[in-house]
Amino acid sequence: MGPEIIKDTAMTTSNEFGYVDEEGNVFLNGTSGPTKIGQYAAGEPTDGLAFFTKRYHDLVSEIELASARLKDGKGNLDSVTALVEKINQSLESPNLLGDFDKLKAGRDSLLVGFEERKVAAAAKKAEVKAAALAKREEIVALAESLANSTAWKVTGEKFKELLDQWKKLPTGDRGKEQELWKRFSHARSAFDKARRAYFSTLDAGRAEAVTAKKAMVKKAHELADSTEWAATTTSYKKLMDDWKGVARAAKNEEEKLWAEFKAAQDKFFANRNAANSVRDEEFGKNLEVKLELLKRAEALLPITNVDAAKATLREIQEAWEKAGHVPRNDKDKIEKRLKSVEDAIRKVQEEHWHRTKPEVVDRANTLVTSFEASIAKLEKQKLAAETAGKTDDAAKIGQQISQAQGLLEAAKSGAATLG
């Protein structure tokens, strides 16, 4: 039922759009006459007129604000729909005083803006969905490239990051998204499966390493009090090589086992060093004896009488053996000095032996004889050339004789040093 139309009513308060009578009834002017749209009993008629007029201005303000927001691309379509419905209700069942033609124009303008905004929103939504789909495809491609990675920690964190990105993306084409999700899930599952298998194997290997290294620690403790210095040092070296050849245990376990192993090893070497220090102190007197023997040996240099030097060296060597061990830090140095004397005597002896070898002496004498025969032959040739008046030939032969005589003198000098 529409508003009640009143034709003859006394007016008390009015404006261009309607009036309020003395009883507070509010009327809207229209082409068919005034229409009662309500009643205001809370005050004076002027208050009623102002109240119903304000309703109109408030609605106009809402229309203007909504239009501006639509124009700026910020309007909410649901809010605009509600506002259009509100305008239609005001037009169909008036409850305000104002320019209804302006309200209709405002409504129509809103509807145009609404459609434009709706089209833009649909395009934007499609754009967002397309971008989200492209991003999901990018995420899937990256996930598939990481499926075979063995950088477990970094890649695991990357998969979490990709999953978070996926969840934050807006939804779109459900079918395509499900297809992409299957690929992403497959890649992530493949990585997780490989990671679990790796750490399962690693844990097994670490367990074996712990067992092996515990056995080494036990052996190290058994050797810690040994006084078989050389043999035990070799045993510790082998244990160290074995330790390095075994996989590492978990960090805490590895550090604990190594500390126990090293403590046992350090104990042995501390004992060995202490024993060596005592022994070196005992060997100090032996060192003094050998240093005196070295003075005697080095006094033989340079060698002038090899037989006498050999005899003296034998005495020194016998005394050297009787003197006994010396501190380890001095052993190599003094033995190297004695060996230098031994090498010098050996060298002189070898040179003497070489000079007195019968075959060497025979070769030298044969060489002298050969040069002498050559010179005698050349002298005969020279005499024959001179007799024949061949002065040039005689001169050349003379030069050959001079060269041969030089070689003969060298051969004689060499032979003189032999025998």
Mean pLDDT of 36-40: 89
Confidence tier at 168 by pLDDT (50, 70, 90):
very high
Mean pLDDT of 172-177: 87
> Is the CB of residue 98 less than 8 Å from the CB of residue 57?
yes
Burial of 170: CB neighbours in 10 Å, binned 0-12, 13-18, 19+: exposed
pTM value surpassing 0.95: no
pLDDT of 3 higher than 60: no
Of the listed ranges 25-39, 149-163, 352-366, 402-416, the least confidently predicted one is 352-366
Give the N- to C-terminal CA distance of the chain in Å, as an integer.
159
> Is the CB of residue 1 less than 8 Å from the CB of residue 36?
no
CA distances from 343 to 214, 307, 336, 349 (A): 53, 14, 10, 10
Mean pLDDT of 367-396: 84
- CA angle 274–280–285, rounded 5-degree value: 150
pLDDT tens sequence across 191-200: 999 999 988 8
- The sign one gets for the Cα dihedral 347, 352, 353, 357 is positive
For residue 301 the two structure tokens come to: 């240099």
Confidence tier at 318 by pLDDT (50, 70, 90):
very high
Question: Among 8, 9, 100, which Cα is nearest to 52's?
Answer: 100
> Is the CB of residue 222 less than 8 Å from the CB of residue 234?
no
pLDDT of 246 higher than 50: yes
CA distance linking residue 178 with residue 138, whole number of Å: 15
For residue 138 the two structure tokens come to: 């990018």
CA distance linking residue 382 with residue 162, whole number of Å: 111
Of the listed ranges 34-38, 109-113, 276-280, the least confidently predicted one is 276-280
For residue 59 the two structure tokens come to: 């609605």
pLDDT of 149 higher than 90: yes
Eight-class DSSP state of 148? T
Tell me the Ramachandran region of residue 6: left when phi exceeds 0, alpha when psi lies from -120 to 50, beta otherwise.
beta
For residue 277 the two structure tokens come to: 């220090």
Question: Among 345, 267, 361, which Cα is nearest to 306's?
Answer: 345
Which residues neighbour 226 within 8 Å (Cβ) at sequence distance 6 or greater? Answer: 232, 268
Coil, strand or helix at 15: strand
Q: Which residues, in sequence order, are bridge partners of residue 36?
A: 4, 27
Q: Which of the residue ranges 111-115, 141-145, 218-222 has the most confident prediction, judged by mean pLDDT?
A: 141-145
pLDDT score recorded for residue 417: 65
pLDDT of 218 higher than 80: yes
Eight-class DSSP state of 23? T
Confidence tier at 415 by pLDDT (50, 70, 90):
low
Strand 13-15 versus strand 25-28 pairing type: unpaired
Q: Which residue has the tokens 């010396």?
A: 326
37 membership: H or E segment, kind and range: strand 35-39
Rg of the chain in Å (alpha carbons): 61
For residue 31 the two structure tokens come to: 């082409």
Q: Which residue has the tokens 């964190």?
A: 157
Q: Read out DSSP for 73-96? A: T---HHHHHHHHHHHHHHHHS--S
Which residues neighbour 269 within 8 Å (Cβ) at sequence distance 6 or greater? Answer: 236
> Is the CB of residue 112 less than 8 Å from the CB of residue 159?
no
Confidence tier at 411 by pLDDT (50, 70, 90):
confident
pLDDT score recorded for residue 77: 79
pLDDT tens sequence across 260-291: 989 989 988 999 888 877 777 778 888 889 89
> Is the CB of residue 247 less than 8 Å from the CB of residue 208?
yes
pLDDT score recorded for residue 235: 93
> Is the CB of residue 315 less than 8 Å from the CB of residue 273?
no
Helices (H) and strands (E) in the chain, counts: 12, 5
pLDDT tens sequence across 53-80: 999 999 999 888 888 888 877 777 788 8
CA distance linking residue 25 with residue 202, whole number of Å: 91
For residue 155 the two structure tokens come to: 């890649």
Confidence tier at 327 by pLDDT (50, 70, 90):
confident
Mean pLDDT of 226-237: 91
